Amino acid sequence: MPAYPDDLREQVEEYLRTLEFSGRASTAGLREAMSYSLLAGGKRIRPVLCLAAARSTGADPSTVLPLAAAIELIHTYSLIHDDLPAMDDDELRRGRPTSHVVYGEDVAILAGDGLFAEAIRHVCEHQEGEPERILNALGELVAATGVEGMVGGQYVDVTAGDDLDEASLRELHSLKTGKLIGASVTSPLVLAGLGEERMDPYRRFAAELGVLFQIVDDILDVTGSDEELGKPQGSDERHGKLTYVSLLGLERAREIASESHRAARDALAEISGDATDLERIADFILERDS
């Protein structure tokens, strides 16, 4: 397994453990549900990408921890809602019962809502930098989350039939998965004030990385075990979802994953900073087993 920037992951984990969501006694149960899902562990790929992108510009990764934490709060909210009976109806996430199984559907929905709102508040209150750049970075993140990003992709996923072709499937996942991964890379660059010309290879890297992540996810849903995945294997097939594997076959899906990985690495070769951590993340995503 390729080396992963665990020093950045540990910074993220330590920072997330310090977050507090109000001290009001009447909402203690809601805060517990939010923290239950937020602190469930994992590789924290999105916030680690944020720190790695900042490091590639020469910045201290710790300076973007509030932004990185917000990204993980948003990602966690999406997972809570994905697992709901009305969506994917999954009872395990990262090897633990999902939020709605533990706290009920009503509290799980509110926990997701709360995490999204707290993400925005956290950036506004804790991220340092020029106000205009903070606003633009936040705009990059929110745009990747909404109808032109993750939520829009989720809508297409739950309403699309089984007649999607490869191009349509790529577009679906570029919204559902790719946009937030992309914003994890680009938002710290906006915060650093990089111009569009310098950001272009980062954007191309992030776009390919999002596709790569989803293809590998589809492959693992077929080849992984419940223990490795931390959730039931074969979930996509049970829900009748069209995936890269079901559409193109396992071998072709693996070929496309390798192509996206090469394209992502090629884009990184064009940046002027140290892309070592970003390269490691791309390699890890290609080779991951969970």
Q: DSSP per residue over 179-233, as a string?
A: HHHHHHHHHHHHHHT--HHHHHHHHHHHHHHHHHHHHHHHHHHHH--HHHHTS-T
What is the rounded radius of gyration, in angstroms, for the C-alpha atoms of the chain?
Answer: 18
User: What CA–CA distance (Å, rounded) separates 134 from 197?
Assistant: 20
CA angle 211, 80, 21 (to 5 degrees): 115
Q: What is the pLDDT of residue 150?
A: 96
Q: Is 41 helix (H, G, I), strand (E, B) or coil?
A: coil
- The tens digit of pLDDT for each residue in 160-178 reads 877 788 899 999 999 999 9
- Mean pLDDT (the chain) is 93
Q: What is the pLDDT of residue 238?
A: 58
Q: What is the pLDDT of residue 229?
A: 55
The candidate with the shortest Cα–Cα distance to 5, out of 277, 197, 227, 234, is: 277
**The residue type at 160:** A
Which portions of the chain are predicted below pLDDT 50?
Answer: none
Q: What is the pLDDT of residue 162?
A: 73
Q: DSSP H helical segments within 83-195, as ranges?
A: 99-103, 105-126, 131-145, 150-159, 166-173, 179-192
- The tens digit of pLDDT for each residue in 176-232 reads 999 999 999 999 999 999 998 999 999 999 999 999 999 999 999 998 765 655 556
Paired sense of beta strands 96-97 and 92-93, if any = antiparallel
Domains in the chain (CATH in brackets) are: 6-287 (1.10.600.10)
Q: What is the pLDDT of residue 95?
A: 86
